[in-house]
Structure 1
Amino acid sequence: MNRSQLYIHIKQTYGTDPEFLWQKYPNYAVFRHDDNHKWYAIVMNVPRGTVGLTGEGMVDVLNLKLDPNLIDDLRTRPGFAPGYHMNKMHWVSIVLDGLVADEEIVNLLDMSHQATR
């Protein structure tokens, strides 16, 4: 799943549009609940090395808030990293490079949406 597909899925499923909060980081998109304003997803483009990847350049990541026990298991798998620029106990980063199946991303996104209700 790429950034554009993710935005479409989030809009269709949760009715949420991306918010671009930082002028310094125009590609960082926050998704939050309308009622309580809690964030449930953040999409960022970060240097590959910050999420444990080799090579030069940037990569899109999706940060989700999940159960800490699940996060511990996910971080042992390719395509997952500690939540970039977030609380590492409660957030996980998913690299949006095709390594993690779309279905799994959708399921984890739903868990994050529910966890932040």
Structure 2
Amino acid sequence: MLTREDIFKHAKEKYGTSPDYPFKKFPNYAVLRHTTNRKWYGLVMNVFPEKLGLDGKEEIDILNLKCPPELIGGLRNGQNILPGYHMDKEHWISFVLDRTDPKGEIYNSIEQSFNLTK
């Protein structure tokens, strides 16, 4: 299981970035952004599964990342990789963190998102 803390640690070690929390209404929504151009490369949110078309009653953490449109269709699986929640669904995907293997494709996807938003 991957946690938001795992994501934040990875972002700090690999990119030198720390999350910021710009939304007063959503104090747990954490933005990962470039230090130079301030563009987002990731967004960690806590949402109810029903918002994503999933079963469950407890809030879950998701990570939104930018992705090349030609790859999105092959990545989305309806379980742990979904259309970007509250983002442009042609360019963003959402990972359900508690269903994602930390040694799997998520860290590669973070790097891809980081490079796409430079």
Query: Where on the TM-score scale, by shorter chain, does this alignment land: which range?
Result: over 0.9
Equivalence map 1:1-117=2 (5 Å)? 1-76=2-77, 78-97=79-98, 99-103=99-103, 104-117=105-118
Alignment coverage as a number of residue pairs:
116
State the TM-score, normalized to the length of structure 1.
0.94
TM-score (norm 2): 0.93
Q: Percent identity?
A: 46
Alpha-carbon separation, structure 2, partners of 1:64 and 1:43: 9
Q: Distance in 2 between matches of 1:50 and 1:68?
A: 22
Residues 14 and 106 of structure 1: is their aligned pair in 2 closer, same or farther, counting only changes over 3 Å? same
Q: CA deviation at 1:102?
A: 1.2
Q: Is the 8 A contact 1:52 1:81 kept in 2?
A: no
Matched residue type, 2:96: V
Q: Is the 8 A contact 1:16 1:32 kept in 2?
A: yes
SS state of the match for residue 21, structure 1? Answer: coil
